[in-house]
């Protein structure tokens, strides 16, 4: 982190004056520990940098900690809340919904909780989707399922109509679970609410299986994605070793960032080449991927390649671009492209290969979360409830330096995290694979 001037102030709807009901949970040594807005979590924990800033009279950038407050803004007995999930599927969505509902009901006694069907479309009357009433009974077992019980959708909807629905239904807190596009929409919704002078809190829970949300160390679903990806790598490795000149090719998720590909490579160290969006590579010529692959086959008789879906998009320059409903550029299929180019390369050289291509992406997205992600989702969901009840808005619940924190949504606009080509993760991946630079060498 290098920005000394991050504005991490969290917007609030008003002064919280109602004693929190969560204090009544405590018995003996289990009394609730409240957190204060005055407590801070440093963003940059580099000692020399922080000390220098303090010496210069500059407060180091820091986050407000997440957690229950001693006083809250909303009266829980009169509060109505709504949850909405948007974008692609991700392991842990049902866990987030479950933890929010359970904390609202048992922690604060909120009587009315609505689940919005099929993303932002559920707010728009012309689509005709009914709201689901959520309770502990309806969510008790949903964490055992994959997918998302509320459904989802992509694409923008009219912000004014969404706020009209919130106002008409007398919703006090809206929990929005989604990725970059959803968080942008959440900011617009929060701004419109404040412009109208309404008392509605908007709290985001960041969702991206790629783990690339800016200023957030970890997002839910990533741990599950890495775990399942290692099984795909193991299968590809077994296939490759089972045939002369066997090649296992696995395409993993990662539109703009290669965290899943690099981390899975370290978790299952059967990979010989890992390709990510942040690091350029060539196909042809001395030192390119095809040349390095030929040397690997000549030396060991098999090879395993992992490629993130956003890697190598330069090879499709000049082709027409398509957009999805959310306005994102549809990536070209680097996995099938590599399979075809590898096959043609060795065919031209009269070298017989056996290549097996595996794309587990949609299987991973729709699976239930693993144990680590379930615990992580529980923290995210419950801290989202604490923030909303305290009257905080236009924020998301993030994880930074092993703390759960409040992050202003506007800090994330147009930015994302990337694998550092000079950092420990990528260096370790290179050490595990032993791969060369994969660029032209003259």
Q: What is the Cα–Cα distance from 192 to 195, expressed in whole angstroms? A: 5
What is the reported pTM?
0.92
Q: Do domains 11-219+370-400 and 222-366+421-433 have the same CATH topology?
A: yes
Q: 42: which 2 tokens?
A: 């440093």
What is 11-219+370-400's CATH topology? Rossmann fold (3.40.50)
Task: Enumerate residue ranges in the chain where pLDDT < 70.
Answer: 1-5, 23-32, 47-51, 53-57, 325-327, 440-442
Examine the residue annotation and report whether 210 is marked as an active-site residue of this protein: yes
pLDDT value for 25: 57
| pLDDT tens per residue across span 236-256 | 999 999 999 999 999 999 999
Q: 411: which 2 tokens?
A: 């800090």
| pLDDT tens per residue across span 269-314 | 999 999 999 999 999 999 899 999 999 999 999 999 999 999 999 9
Check if the beta carbon of residue 165 is closer than 8 Å to that of residue 125.
yes
pLDDT value for 54: 65
Torsions phi, psi for 357 (to 5 deg): -110, 130
Of 223, 301, 236, the closest CA to residue 267 belongs to: 223
Tell me how far apart the terminal alpha carbons of the chain are, to the nearest angstrom.
Answer: 37
| pLDDT tens per residue across span 339-366 | 999 999 999 999 999 999 999 988 899 9
| SS3 call for 51 | helix
The catalytic position among 180, 191, 210, 282 is: 210
Long-range contacts of 238-244 (CB under 8 A, 24+ apart): 239/354, 239/356, 240/302, 240/303, 240/304, 240/354, 240/356, 241/302, 243/302, 243/354, 244/301, 244/352, 244/354
pLDDT value for 321: 81
pLDDT value for 414: 76
pLDDT value for 324: 72
| SS3 call for 398 | strand
Q: What is the Cα–Cα distance from 358 to 115, expressed in whole angstroms? A: 36
Of 379, 376, 384, the closest CA to residue 81 belongs to: 384
pLDDT value for 21: 93
Domain ranges, ordered by start, for the chain: 11-219+370-400, 222-366+421-433
List the CATH code of the domain at 222-366+421-433. 3.40.50.460
């Amino acid at each position: 982190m290098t920005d000394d001037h991050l504005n991490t102030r969290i917007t609030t709807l008003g002064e919280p004056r109602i004693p929190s009901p969560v204090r009544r949970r405590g018995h003996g040594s289990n009394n609730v520990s409240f957190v204060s807005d005055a407590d801070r979590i440093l963003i940059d924990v580099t000692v020399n940098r922080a000390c220098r800033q303090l010496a210069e009279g500059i407060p180091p950038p820091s986050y407000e900690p997440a957690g229950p407050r001693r006083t809250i803004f909303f009266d829980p007995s009169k509060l109505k809340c709504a949850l909405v999930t948007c974008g692609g599927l991700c392991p842990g969505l049902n866990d987030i919904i479950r933890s929010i509902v359970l904390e609202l009901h048992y922690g604060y006694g909120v009587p009315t909780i609505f689940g919005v069907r099929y993303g932002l479309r559920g707010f728009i009357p012309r689509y005709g989707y009914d709201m689901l009433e959520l309770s502990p009974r309806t969510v008790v077992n949903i964490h055992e399922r994959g997918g998302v019980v509320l459904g989802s959708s992509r694409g923008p909807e009219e912000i004014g109509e969404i706020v009209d629905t919130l106002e008409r239904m007398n919703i006090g807190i809206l929990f929005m679970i989604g990725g970059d596009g959803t968080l942008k929409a959440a900011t617009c919704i929060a701004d419109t609410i404040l412009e109208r002078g309404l008392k509605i809190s908007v709290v985001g829970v960041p969702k991206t299986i790629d783990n690339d949300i800016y200023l957030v160390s970890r997002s839910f679903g990533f741990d599950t994605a890495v775990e399942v990806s290692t099984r795909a790598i193991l299968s590809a490795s077994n296939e490759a070793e089972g045939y002369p000149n066997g090649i296992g090719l696995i395409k993993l998720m990662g539109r703009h960032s290669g965290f899943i590909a690099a981390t899975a490579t370290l978790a299952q160290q059967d990979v010989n080449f890992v390709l990510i969006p942040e690091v350029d590579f060539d196909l042809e010529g001395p030192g390119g991927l095809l040349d390095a692959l030929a040397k690997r086959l000549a030396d060991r008789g098999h090879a395993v390649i992992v490629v993130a879906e956003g890697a190598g998009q330069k090879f499709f320059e000049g082709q027409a671009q398509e957009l999805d409903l959310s306005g994102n550029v549809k990536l070209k299929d680097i996995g099938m492209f590599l399979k075809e180019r590898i096959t043609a390369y060795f065919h031209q050289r009269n070298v017989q290969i056996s290549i097996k291509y595996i794309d587990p992406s949609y299987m991973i997205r729709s699976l239930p979360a693993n144990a680590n992600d379930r615990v992580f989702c529980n923290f995210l969901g419950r801290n989202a409830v604490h923030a909303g009840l305290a009257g905080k808005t236009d924020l998301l619940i993030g994880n930074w330096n092993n703390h759960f924190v409040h992050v202003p949504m506007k800090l994330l606009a147009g930015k994302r995290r990337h694998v550092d080509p000079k950092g420990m993760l990528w260096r370790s991946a290179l050490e595990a694979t032993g791969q060369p630079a994969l660029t032209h060498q003259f």
